[in-house]
A and B are shown apart, each in its own frame.
Chain A
Amino acid sequence: MNFLYELKEGLWISWDAIRANKLRSALTTLGIIIGVVTVTLMGTAIDGLNQSFLKSISFLGADTLYVTRTGWFHDSHESWMRANRRRQITLTQVREVQRQMTLARAISPFIATGRPVKYKNRTSGSVTVIGSTDQMQFTDGMTVGQGRFMSAEEANGGRPVCMIGYQVATNLFPNEPALGAKIRVGGAAFEVIGILEKQGSVFGESLDNQVVVPVRQFVTEFWHDPDYEIHVKVVDMAHLEDAKEELRGILRRVRHIPPGAEDDFGIEQQESILRTFNRVAGTIAAIGLFITGLSLFVGGIGIMNIMFVSVAERTKEIGIRKAIGAKRRAILLQFLTEAASICLLGGLIALSIAWPLTLVIGRFMPARMSLPIVGIALAVSILTGALSGFFPAWRAARMNPVDALRNE
């Protein structure tokens, strides 16, 4: 109970002191405002970066394994050069994987190249042309908006059919129905049998600017001896690691790798990209928050300074309060409350400044001021106040009442 009364008294005194020294309080608060604004904006930006990245890589299924010849990550130029000298992955090897693997729900080959796509007099400059099979709709989680995905017969028979991305559809067929139309991809003609649903973009590259054709057609028309990727959707998340091991074993067998030699292929998954990103993003966040934290630190020093002044000015008052029965705790609390109040005020002002700025940032990345960030910002301001107010408050609390009373 005592504590609550003392806290209430502390709040009353703080408010009174802030009102009594308006200019001084405003100047002191400025440091905190700048500190909290920068920290809040940095937090928001980092949060936005993370979110935009997560959104970007969501096209990679969490339960899908990606086999490539080179692998995705290399920590040195040498390892990259070595990976580049590896043998290609052939369609025969993909077929072997399809035949042998038990822990997979779907397996598809994947090859891509860029070609112009034409319909009548309309042209789409550089469209990503993908060669795959009917299984791609499962491995890559593709959904068809209109029409249908290619069938197994079409894929294996190498029929000249294609599924076009959302952007290709809107570019080539602004006024007429696309389904059933014959478009020219590179030099070959393909019948449009499906329009894929809108997917958005990854790292600035649109996923909707693509055309999917049967892999046999791809080989005949565009690239005779391509380097395949294999996309493997596993039976369930729980068996991801088992599936990865099985896949590795099969690939080593079909690529005739002697025991003890290292893999000449890479099996990647969404998680490996996430891990790499998190490492980089973590470093950026740490450095960014450290630098912005410095301004908050400087603001905190300002508070400490002004609290020392405040304590010195009110030595007599401290003496009076102690004489009539204020314990150390009450005095400590009084000045801590004052410092924290100034900082909380600064924090609130800072948030009202950061809010519109966040909206501006929000135009470039999916940033918004989330409730946790608001909470953290306020907590950080109060903490800054309490920490920087502690030393002056402690000095006040320890004052000898006789000496304090003698002070004029």
Chain B
Amino acid sequence: MSLIRLENISRRYQMGTETIHALRDVSLTIDRGEYVAIMGPSGSGKSTLMNLLGCLDTATAGKYELNGTNVSDLDDNQLAEIRNREIGFVFQTFNLLPRANALRNVELPLIYAGVDNDERKRLAHEALAQVGLADRVHHKPNEMSGGQRQRVAVARALVTSPSIILADEPTGNLDSKTGDEIMTLFETLSQKGNTIIVVTHEEIVARHARRIIRIFDGGIAGDDRVQPHERSVVAS
């Protein structure tokens, strides 16, 4: 059974008197363990698609099944619970809490999941170790480099062992070298069996994935497997 199944998903926004069709009739399935890139120019609807996949937003029409749950008609609180359990977000601007140290930032999803203190600390340390930041747990975001911050964000996404890691332009605010580091990290996570979806407008970032879904004008314009010889090779 596929992990993600979109059936005829549409998303319309009302802007004054004008109706904007951000997504039209999108159908899509993604299996467990896939490493997918969603590509498209700005205004193509890829952000809308990401918000829908991440359960931050709901579709105007169509059906979205995530890990066996129909999330199309869940309310705010149920969506929050799904996000907490099933999805780990990595944002372009890291979106860490500035006044909290790395450990607290990583712990946060577990607080909302109701995990007790000791277990929370253990899992957070584990996740930070996994992204190579075992020695930075008590640093605050402003005491870390961009790459380190993004790795904290990845640790935060990992800590709940979600079904999907959903990354929105994860290298957008990083120089190419640190960007590569983050993509290597995703590669490792993918090899460990995590499902990863990266939203990007950069071909070179997209080519790290094994499948590229191209969005244009609110619809799917292409869905290709990336051949091994076409893949971006990360210098390691």
Contact = CB atoms under 8 A, between A and B. Distances in A.
Contacts of B57: 400-402
Contact of A324 (B51, B108, B114, B116): B108
Interface stretch (B79-87, B172-180, B188-196, B228-236): B79-87
Contacts of B221: none
A323 B77 contact: no
A325 B81 contact: yes
A402 B51 contact: yes
B109 A320 contact: no
Contacts of A329: 77
Interface in B53-93: 54, 56-57, 76-77, 80-81, 83-85, 89, 91
Interface string B101-120: 00000001101111110000
Interface stretch (A1-9, A69-77, A245-253): A1-9
Interface string A192-210: 0000000000000000000
B142 interface: no
A389 B78 CA distance: 25
A148 interface: no
A325 B109 contact: yes
Contacts of B116: 1, 5
A361 interface: no
A326 B114 contact: no
Given A322-B80, A324-B83, A330 B112 contact: yes
A2 B91 CA distance: 26
A327 B77 contact: yes
> A interface, how many residues as a size bin?
20 to 34
A325 B51 CA distance: 14
A321 B81 contact: no
A60 B177 CA distance: 93
A323 to B, nearest CB: 5
B80 A325 contact: yes
B150 to A, nearest CB: 14
A5 to B, nearest CB: 5
Contact of A323 (B76, B83, B113): B83
B95 interface: yes
A323 B89 CA distance: 8
B99 A16 contact: yes
B56 A321 contact: no
Contacts of B83: 322-325
A271 interface: no
Contacts of B156: 324
B95 A316 contact: yes
Interface string A304-341: 00000000000011011111111111100000000000
Nearest to B98: A317
Given A317-B97, A328-B77, A405-B95, A323 B56 contact: yes
Interface string A82-106: 0000000000000000000000000
A1 B54 contact: no
A319 B112 CA distance: 14
Nearest to B96: A320
B56 A1 contact: no
Interface in A15-51: 16, 20
B56 A324 contact: no
Nearest to A397: B76
Contacts of A321: 108, 112
A16 B56 CA distance: 27
B81 A327 contact: yes
A401 B56 contact: yes
A325 B97 contact: no
B56 A320 contact: no
B111 A5 contact: yes
Contacts of A5: 111-112, 114-116
Contacts of A20: 99
A327 B109 CA distance: 11
A324 B112 CA distance: 8
A321 B80 CA distance: 10
A297 to B, nearest CB: 32
A328 B112 CA distance: 11
B95 A325 contact: no
A34 to B, nearest CB: 30
Contacts of A316: 95
Nearest to B109: A324
A330 B77 CA distance: 10
Q: Most B CB atoms within 10 A — which of A319, A320, A323?
A: A323
A6 B77 contact: no
A322 B109 CA distance: 10
Nearest to B99: A16
Interface string B9-47: 000000000000000000000000000000000000000
Interface of B: 51, 54, 56-57, 76-77, 80-81, 83-85, 89, 91, 95-97, 99, 108-109, 111-116, 156, 160
5 contacts: A1-B114, A327-B76, A402-B57, A405-B91, A405-B95
Ranked 6 nearest A-B pairs via Cβ: A325-B84, A2-B114, A325-B112, A327-B80, A324-B109, A327-B77
Given A320-B96, A325-B160, A402-B51, 4 more contacts: A1-B114, A324-B109, A325-B81, A327-B77
Interface of A: 1-2, 5-6, 9, 16, 20, 316-317, 319-330, 400-402, 405
